[in-house]
Structure 1
């Protein structure tokens, strides 16, 4: 199948796990009514973006009410759901983890955020995920009926090596559920998604929480879809909203034939190597 209708669920995340799950459920149901077959939720869609809340909201994979709810919805509607990310607890560690469910409601892939958001922008944003979270160490490319998709989370998009390795593994769409803020979002969000799409001649999708001005962390929103030519084909603003975007994966072959960047790479001189 070379055409995919992707739903970008830019939901307002609040300090109430059950309400967040209910909101995600409502948006998934709406996406299904619009004939979406691949539905994407934001980073930390069940949890406020805050180190103390990561601890409070953390769930173990095999006993997660959040994941159980998403699994049931994927199975009921027979759709793929990329469950943004949640704080996942394993033993004493907490990870920022994204889960991909297939049409049967089964987890077919998971990605633990590889690059932790530890920044201190003068006059802007200070945040240190490593105070609470543990980084993941695996590249994750999942096989779907639409072909392979590459997984990343938010800050991962700043590292072109991750995208290059995922594309080398066959990914045709790169997904980065994210939550850029009001400092980094206006400066870099669109630029990074266009860059990763253009560098690798693939589709690149980012889904963020809506801006909640009552929260301690202000998400930039602006969920986005970019095509292999580097063009923005869909972008939201700050508010809670659901948008669908139809993509034709044949565009990848067309762009790569017209400008054969991947074919013209000097692999005899340099290459990205996965350890």
Structure 2
């Protein structure tokens, strides 16, 4: 069983379900105000939603894209340092060398950027009569895993559609992550069907905490987010969940609980390389 230092075994996580408008400066200022509020409530790690500084949509990505470092990441760095927290900056449209990415920057308590996750799996779906969306019309995919350390635990990052790929969560778990964070913006079709299901699946499969931060729902937007930012524990229980409106939710991440789950049901320690190495024969 993995041992955890007593004073670092539990920490408060805050998810900000931000109401996103078409005004970037307004989004940034509102996000920073809510980060400050969350820190005031004892949060040591604060998470913003996917595409928090701009409307979500392929027509908006080129218009709102910026370089990193840039205006948005500078503000996030400053507020992380001011509050002395770890800040997962949801995601922003990033421009780099003529390409656009859906990118999540992470900052430490001193304002240093600790990680930069570019969404690996682009959201290209077609559910006839309900929703069609193609991020690949304007975005390029990332090609790297993103893990960063805190005094509490190691954290793995994904963005929205990345959560559908179980292998990514498995790799992060193998790398020692105990918390997986996915800023995301599921919609009114995939949200009710799969949002919570996927989170609970990733948590139970890997015996980790899973947290997702969504934008608040805006019925007037061209893309309507599902909302329902959520935290799931390693037993698969939902321990915090928002509704649809702008809000901040909190969860105490208890690493002793995680260690107990892994001791009680030791799936991660059972290496079945003998099974998976069996030659597959076709008839």
- Of the candidates 160, 166, 180, which is equivalent to residue 186 of structure 2? 180
SS in 2 for 1:5: strand
- Of the candidates 158, 165, 180, which is equivalent to residue 164 of structure 2? 158
In structure 1, C-alpha distance between the alignment counterparts of 2:91 and 2:146, rounded to whole Å: 14
In structure 1, C-alpha distance between the alignment counterparts of 2:11 and 2:191, rounded to whole Å: 27
In structure 2, C-alpha distance between the alignment counterparts of 1:29 and 1:75, rounded to whole Å: 11
SS in 1 for 2:62: helix
In structure 2, C-alpha distance between the alignment counterparts of 1:191 and 1:30, rounded to whole Å: 30
Q: Deviations over 1:3-41 (max 9, x none)?
A: 110111001011110010011011111101111110000
Q: Does 1:11 align with 2:18?
A: yes
- Of the candidates 33, 40, 52, which is equivalent to residue 45 of structure 1? 52
- Of the candidates 59, 68, 86, which is equivalent to residue 61 of structure 1? 68
- The unaligned stretches of length 5 or more in structure 1 are none
Deviation at 1:265, TM superposition (A): 4.0
In structure 2, C-alpha distance between the alignment counterparts of 1:66 and 1:111, rounded to whole Å: 15
In structure 1, C-alpha distance between the alignment counterparts of 2:275 and 2:190, rounded to whole Å: 34
In structure 1, C-alpha distance between the alignment counterparts of 2:102 and 2:42, rounded to whole Å: 29
Q: Does 1:135 align with 2:141?
A: yes
In structure 1, C-alpha distance between the alignment counterparts of 2:118 and 2:63, rounded to whole Å: 18
Residue correspondence of structure 1 range 116-265 to structure 2 within 5 A: 116-265=122-271
In structure 2, C-alpha distance between the alignment counterparts of 1:236 and 1:270, rounded to whole Å: 40
- Of the candidates 255, 260, 272, which is equivalent to residue 266 of structure 1? 272
SS in 2 for 1:51: coil
- Of the candidates 70, 94, 101, which is equivalent to residue 95 of structure 1? 101
SS in 1 for 2:268: helix
- The unaligned stretches of length 5 or more in structure 2 are 1-7, 278-283
In structure 1, C-alpha distance between the alignment counterparts of 2:274 and 2:122, rounded to whole Å: 32
Structure 2 residue aligned with 1:105: 111
Moved over 3 A (4+): none
Q: Deviations over 1:72-119 (max 9, x none)?
A: 001111100000000011011000010110000110111100000000
TM-score by length of 1: 0.96
Q: Does 1:36 align with 2:40?
A: no
Q: Give the superposed CA RMSD.
A: 0.9
TM-score by length of 2: 0.94
The structure whose Rg is larger is: 2
In structure 2, C-alpha distance between the alignment counterparts of 1:243 and 1:139, rounded to whole Å: 27
